[in-house]
Structure 1
Amino acid sequence: MPTTLDREISAARATKTPLNRSQITGFWGAWAGWTLDGMDSFIYALVLAPALTELLPRSGYAATPANVGLAGSILFALFLVGWGLSFIWGPLADRFGRTKVLAATIFTFAIFTGLAATAHTVWELGIYRFFAGVGIGGEWALAGTYVAEAWPEDRRKMGAGYLQTGYYAGFFLAAVLNYTIGAAFGWRAMFLVGLFPVVVSIVVLLRVKETDKWQRAEAVHPHVKHESSLKAIFNAQYRKRTIVAAVLLTVAIIGLWAGAVYEPSAVIQLATKAGMDKAEAARMASIATGLLSIGTIVGCLALPPMAEKIGRRKTLAVYFAGMAASIALAFGWAFYLPNGLVPFIALLVVLGFFGGNFALFSLWLPEQFETRVRATAFAFCTSIGRFFGAIVNFGIGAMVLNMKTLGVPIAITAVAFLIGLAVIPLAPETKGQELPN
């Protein structure tokens, strides 16, 4: 029978530290930026076909399905390279603070997304998407670092899950906008909507207070902070965990992005095969994207409690195994069924759930690095995978072109998660540890 002391301890554990106004405002600013970040990222996938169909002839190329696929892969690879270069925001945030640099990342991706609506050639669109990628990549690292440092210790793990839902809420928002604004006004209107995050960046800059952890680190170790934080994450203390985290994130990026980016095209092909016309197929792609997003949001929310119960490494292993199976089944099996639309979309929901593995990195990465290098480490590890993702995307585009099919090349990316499963044991287990100062 529980004693009075036992009941008091249980009550204390059940009572979470209340959030102050700055922490709440900061979270919603970071979440909104992450949501609009996800919306911006997925707008391109949804408007890829109509945008390139219009721009390729203006650029001197025929708008054949093969050319649309190849140009789409090249432009997405440029976007990923820009995203990879976003590691520059990390050292800036370690030097000048989290909130100012977070606002700058949001402002950057919003402006260049809006400019994409003015593109007259494929090359102009490629340039705008490259610079939008630089901004988008930095937002994840800075938002994750901010929430980890600003929220109380007993709330920050779940905060990471809440934060990550924003990105996939952005996917859902992009699908809704494509179903309504995109269907009515075309692809340029979709890019113009991407200007809205400018407002969020202004709010973040004016209303959100800098984290206490960064301010204390700045006050206590000014001489250390002004050293190269990029160099510090490769010293003897951090080298192994930096490399392992970068590899694991590379695996996650290759697998999820391959599936997510080509998902609308796959659904359109399956819907057309099922007898739908062009408009109906486009709407079906929006519905499928919405379901994928809902599945991922659920996966993000389920992850932190699992990570607290069984540990970070085992949780990531479960999610990676789920991603490998769902990608292989969706693109390697359901895509080729005579009536594959329904089973494909059902598997997309499963794929979406396990795609919530990204929430673990928002929780886990800040636990592996001290404050003076945290943003740099987060930005580097989340960015480096984009370079490899760009290379893989070129390979996928070439395979699609040569094999004349979309399914098998995407299904092959499931192998990346098997590699990830072999690397996970090399990462540190930080379950039960507080965020290091």
Structure 2
Amino acid sequence: MPSAPDHIATTARSARTPLNRSQITGFWGAWTGWTLDGMDSFIYALVLAPALTELLPKSGYAATPANVGLAGSILFALFLVGWGLSFIWGPLADRFGRTKVLAATIFTFAIFTGLAATSQSVWALGIYRFLAGIGIGGEWALAGTYVAEAWPEDRRKMGAGYLQTGYYAGFFLAAALNYTIGATYGWRAMFLVGVLPVIVSIVVLLRVKETEKWERNVAHAVRQVSPLRAIFSRQYRRRTLVAATLLTVAIIGLWAGAVYEPSAVIQLATKAGMAKPDAVRMASIATGLLSIGTIIGCLALPPIAERIGRRWTLAVYFIGMAVSIALAFGWAFYLSNGLYPFIALLFVLGFFGGNFALFSLWLPEQFETRVRATAFAFCTSVGRFFGAIVNFGIGAMVLHMKTLGVPIALTAIAFIIGLAVIPFAPETKGEELPS
């Protein structure tokens, strides 16, 4: 016979607030948009080598491995700058509503991803990826804000974990498309697939209602300081700066590993004697494994955060990222038969890469409704600017050192810095979402 506390806990779990149709539709709209966002982001990593091999000669440059690596870093840095500029969506969402602006972000990244398929030079591809980045960068902030506000208090924490799986399901989808469409029809076909999110943006705009929290806030709003100024007021300045720093750490570490992972696997597979098409397919399989690990990490995170708190959870995930990225790129990459140890470590790296789910849970808890989307968008954008700078640095290091592994392994240092910053963040375990 269960004890009284066990009985209460069981009853509480079985009495979770049911989701209404609007909340369910809204979640799937946000999740699908985030999935296609992840697919769009990772398409570039998967088609980097073939796209630049074709476009560099058309732009007046030899398609040497060094030039492909340098151009790839520069183009990815431009993409991250576009992501960084996506903070503009936050104030718009606080002013005009979550769903309309969410639909606009999805529409933006889908259109410019499709246009990337028409690129005839490296410069054109860079411009399209920059503009797509502006749309992609806004989706996470608005989707995370929407789910936090729309779902009941007793379910929103797991909702954050569920939402974040979408991005890495997108990685898996991109890998599957590359294994089939990309391997058969080439890199342009991969970018054309990126137009599909337009349909999602239309559904989000037409079918999903605004959150009650936002509508109540608008109904009772008085003339206030702009949201962008408010997040740097005395009330929020420290939270904003700490959250932006922690997100910068997460973005630098995971993106460096994830973006260069396909190239690393292709190099290792070729070194192991695989033909180029088989090496490309092996990169797709490795990406799928990375994605599965991250999805599991996202789902595991909310219960851990509820048990040990937000700060300790992020510390555990940051330590896991530092160790796995250092071992994968600094050790396994240089083994004489390192392909399979490297791929095995990618699963571990993926699991701890699920740390992004914590921000979907934690950031909304730190800010009121009137500034929530702005704060979320700003904090996620800052890291992308620094990520762009780091990618320029990585590209230069790869060119100078003539190797991919060590420059990526060194990004593990960012997580050590993150561990020192975590104690300055507020612990919101057990607190309700601010009104």
Q: Which residue does 2:242 correspond to in 1?
A: 244
- C-alpha distance in 2 between matches for 1:286 and 1:6: 45
Match of 1:142 in 2: 142
Determine the C-alpha separation between the residues in 2 that align with 1:383 and 1:151: 25
User: Which residue is 1:119 aligned to?
Assistant: 119
Q: Which residue of 2 aligns with 1:156?
A: 156
Q: Decide whether aligned partners of structure 1 residues 48 and 8 sit closer, same or farther in structure 2, where only a CA change above 3 A counts.
A: closer
Q: Compute the displacement of 1:413 (Å).
A: 0.2
Find the aligned partners of 2:398 and 2:70 in 1 and give their Cα distance. 8
Q: Which residue of 2 aligns with 1:433?
A: 431
Q: Determine what percentage of the aligned residue pairs are the same residue.
A: 86
- Report deviation, 1:411: 0.2
Identify unmatched segments of 5+ residues in structure 2.
none
Q: Who is 1:93 aligned against?
A: 93
Distance 2:231 2:246 in 1: 16
Note if 1:84 corresponds to 2:84: yes
Counterpart Cα distance in 1 of 2:331 and 2:187: 31
TM-score where L is the length of structure 1: 0.98
Q: 2:131 & 2:222 partners in 1: Cα distance?
A: 32
Post-superposition Cα deviations, 1:405-424, rounded to whole Å, max 9, x if no partner, equal 00000000000000000000
The aligned counterpart of 1:176 is 176
Partner of 2:376: 378
Query: Aligned equivalents of 1:89 and 1:131: distance in 2?
Result: 14
Aligned to 2:33: 33
Distance 1:236 1:298 in 2: 38
Q: 1:220 to 1:326 in 2, by over 3 A?
A: same
The code of the aligned residue for 1:358 comes to F
Aligned amino acid, residue 325 of structure 2: I
- Structure 1 residues 5 and 386, CA, compared in 2 at 3 Å: closer, same or farther? closer
Distance 1:222 1:54 in 2: 56
Inter-partner Cα distance in structure 2 for 1:395 and 1:421:
23
The one-letter code sitting in structure 2 at the alignment partner of 1:121 is S
Deviation, structure 1 residue 6: 7.4
- 1:16 is paired with a residue of what secondary structure? coil
Residue of structure 1 in register with 2:52 after alignment: 52
Write the distance in 1 (CA, Å) between the matches of 2:57 and 2:333.
Answer: 30
User: What's the offset of the Cα at 1:2?
Assistant: 6.1
Q: Provide the rounded CA distance (Å) in 2 between the counterparts of 1:415 and 1:126.
A: 29
1:12 and 2:12 matched = yes
Q: Are 1:217 and 2:214 counterparts?
A: no
Paired letter, 2:113: T
- What is the one-letter code of the residue matched to 1:393? N
- Deviation at 1:274? 0.3
Tell me how far 1:102 sits from its aligned partner. 0.1
1:354-386 CA-partner distances (Å, limit 9, x unpaired): 000000000000000000000000000001100
Structure 1 residues 83 and 6: CA distance shift in structure 2, 3 A: closer
Label 1:426 to 1:4 Cα distance change in 2 as closer, same or farther (>3 A).
Answer: closer
Cα offset, 1:13, TM superposition: 4.2
User: What is the SS of the residue equivalent to 1:223?
Assistant: coil
**1:173 CA drift (Å):** 0.1
Q: Give the Å deviation of 1:221.
A: 1.4
Aligned to 1:192: 192
Q: What is the SS of the residue equivalent to 1:89?
A: helix
Map 1:197-346; keep pairs closer than 5 Å: 197-224=197-224, 227-346=225-344
**Structure 2 counterpart of 1:80, one-letter code:** L
Structure 1 pair 16/185, CA: closer, same or farther in 2 (3 Å)? Answer: same
Distance 1:177 1:287 in 2: 11
Deviation of the 1:14 alpha carbon = 3.3
Q: CA deviation at 1:24?
A: 0.2
TM-score by length of 2: 0.99
**CA shift digits 1:316-352 (9 cap, x unpaired):** 0000000000000000000000000000000000000
Instruction: Indicate the residue corresponding to 2:356 in structure 1.
Output: 358
In the aligned structure 2, how far is the partner of 1:359 from the partner of 1:98?
19
Query: What are the Cα deviations for residues 99-128 of structure 1, in whole angstroms up to 9, with x where unaligned?
Result: 000000000000000000000000000000
Runs of 4+ in structure 1 deviating by more than 4 angstroms, as ranges, are 1-6
Shift of 1:7: 3.6
- 1:28-62 deviations in Å (ceiling 9; x for gaps): 00000000000000000000000000001111111
Whole-Å separation in 2 of the counterparts to 1:34 and 1:101:
14
Aligned-partner Cα distance in 2 for 1:8–1:210: 34
Aligned residues: 435
Question: Corresponding residue for 1:411?
Answer: 409
Partners of 1:7 and 1:187 in 2: CA distance? 56
Aligned residue for 1:153, secondary structure, equals: coil
What amino acid is the match of 1:400?
V
Alignment of 1:66-85 (within 5 A): 66-85=66-85
User: Do the aligned partners of residues 186 and 70 (structure 1) sit closer, same or farther apart at CA in structure 2, a change above 3 Å counting?
Assistant: same
CA distance in 2, matches of 1:267, 1:127: 28
Moved more, 278-287 or 3-12: 3-12
Using the TM superposition, give the Cα deviation of residue 4 of structure 1 relative to its aligned residue in structure 2, in angstroms: 7.4
Per-residue deviation, 1:15: 1.8
- C-alpha RMSD over aligned residues: 1.1
> What's the CA shift string for 1:225-255, capped at 9, x where partnerless?
xx31000000000000000000000000000
Change (3 A) 1:52 1:431: same
Amino acid paired to 2:119? A
Q: What displacement does 1:9 show?
A: 6.4
